[in-house]
Structures are given as structure tokens and as C-alpha cells.
């Protein structure tokens, strides 16, 4: 597996309006992409920061992963996403090592990326995402 870069930090927020207002007020930044990812039951807003981005996440369903995260932990960092050259090969490699995965095969994510999450029990309590850009 080849990790290309930290693609983004995912931050759970009660609302995207709140997050976008905060980023504008604090840093004069505007989201360059807002999208609903129905499969994951979230709306996302992306803010570019150098070669990486901050992804704010708003739950569209309180029973979805981000909704449950917000209920249990409140707003804050939800995950770290690593861009990989081949997400299928990365998942296969981790499964072969016996790594506990939330996703045993990649699924669609925002921006047309394919993604898979590693269980936080494997990473010292941090939810980690592997993502492959549609360009890769």
C-alpha cells in the first residue's frame, strides 16, 4: 500500500451552516464543494488547506455514523483520511494482515472517491479512512 498524502480531516458538526459560518468568520474561507453522500447519511463541506482539506460533516440521519458520533462525543474530529494509490489493494493487504476493517470492500464516498474505513480499535482510537481519488 502506498499512502500518497493526508487527503482530509473529517470534522463532525451539528450543521454545515454553523461550520461554514465559523470557517468564514475565523479564516475568511468558503467551502469549495458541498455534497450529500446519501449512502453515509451525511452532507459534507470541503475547505481546501494547502494540498489537503477539512471536511465538515453534518448528519442527515441521527442513526447514521456521524449522527451517532455527534450524540456520543459531540462535535469534533471524526476521522483522518489517507489518500492511497489503490484502495482495493490497500483493503486486501490490511485484511490479509488480520486488521479489523469497518469496510471489507471499498464503497462510494464524496468527490467520486472510493473509500474504506479501518476500525478505530486497530489505530489507537482514531477512525482512519483510506480513499482513492477518481483520478488515481
Q: Rounded CA gap, 89 and 3, in Å?
A: 12
Strands 3-12 and 52-59 turn out to be parallel
Domain that residue 102 falls in: 3-132
DSSP 58: E
Q: Which three cell numbers stand for residue 12?
A: 463532525
80: CATH = 3.10.180.10
Helix (H, G, I), strand (E, B) or coil at 94: helix
Closest CA to 14 of 71, 54, 81, 63: 71
| Number of structural domains found in the chain | 1
Per-residue pLDDT of the chain (136 residues; tens, 9 = 90+): 999 999 999 999 999 999 999 999 999 999 999 999 998 999 999 999 999 999 999 999 999 999 999 999 999 999 999 999 999 999 999 999 999 999 999 999 988 899 999 999 999 999 999 999 886 5
Amino acid at each position: 500500500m502506498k499512502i500518497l498524502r493526508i487527503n482530509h480531516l473529517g470534522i463532525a458538526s451539528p450543521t454545515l451552516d454553523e461550520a461554514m459560518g465559523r470557517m468564514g468568520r475565523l479564516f475568511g474561507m468558503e467551502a469549495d464543494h458541498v455534497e450529500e453522500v446519501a449512502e453515509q447519511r451525511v452532507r459534507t463541506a470541503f475547505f481546501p488547506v494547502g494540498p489537503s482539506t477539512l471536511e465538515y460533516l453534518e448528519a442527515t440521519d441521527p442513526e447514521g455514523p456521524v449522527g451517532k458520533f455527534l450524540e456520543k462525543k459531540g462535535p469534533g474530529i471524526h476521522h483522518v483520511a489517507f489518500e492511497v494509490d489503490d484502495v482495493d489493494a490497500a483493503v486486501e493487504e490490511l485484511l490479509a494482515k488480520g486488521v479489523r476493517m469497518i469496510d471489507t470492500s471499498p464503497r462510494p464516498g464524496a468527490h467520486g472517491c472510493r473509500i474504506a474505513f479501518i476500525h478505530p480499535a486497530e489505530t489507537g482510537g482514531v477512525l482512519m479512512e483510506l480513499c482513492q481519488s477518481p483520478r488515481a
